[in-house]
Amino acid sequence: MKKEEIINYWVETSNRDYQTMRHLYENKDYEWCLFIGHLVIEKLLKALYVKKKDSNIPKIHDLSRLADMVEIETDEEQQDALDLITTFNISVRYPDYKQSFYKKCDQDFTSKNI
């Protein structure tokens, strides 16, 4: 694939995931809504990585590290937000985190973090 095709792939799948995130939120499936929200941002950062760096995308999910790799300057509040959103990826995937995350993901928590 050409560089533009790779970038378009990441952006298009991010856009589809964004719609999925919205549907999950509307259906009150909050923990998965936040998980997909993480993917939306991750995919956009990976599109930016391809645009600015290389098509060999790092196989990581840490949004802060990805932002650093594409040289996005973040303040402390933005860094904290990226770190929090990264936990949504881990919290849904692993059973030992999943139950406590599920309990935390009410409408209020999700609305603030979506």
Amino acid occupying residue 1: M
- Whether the pLDDT of residue 3 is over 80: the answer is yes
* pTM flag (> 0.85): yes
Beta-carbon contacts of 62 under 8 Å, excluding residues fewer than 6 positions away, are: 86
Q: Give me the pLDDT at residue 60, please.
A: 94
Q: What is the CATH number of the domain that holds 58?
A: 1.20.120.330
14 phi-psi bin (left φ>0, alpha ψ -120 to 50, beta other): alpha
Query: What range defines the domain where residue 97 resides?
Result: 3-113
Beta-carbon contacts of 27 under 8 Å, excluding residues fewer than 6 positions away, are: none
Q: Give me the pLDDT at residue 21, please.
A: 98
Q: Give me the pLDDT at residue 103, please.
A: 86
Number of domains in the chain: 1
Residue 88 CB coordination number (10 Å): 24
pLDDT in tens, 7-64: 999 999 999 999 999 999 999 999 999 999 999 999 999 999 999 998 889 999 999 9
| Helix, coil or strand: residue 29 | coil
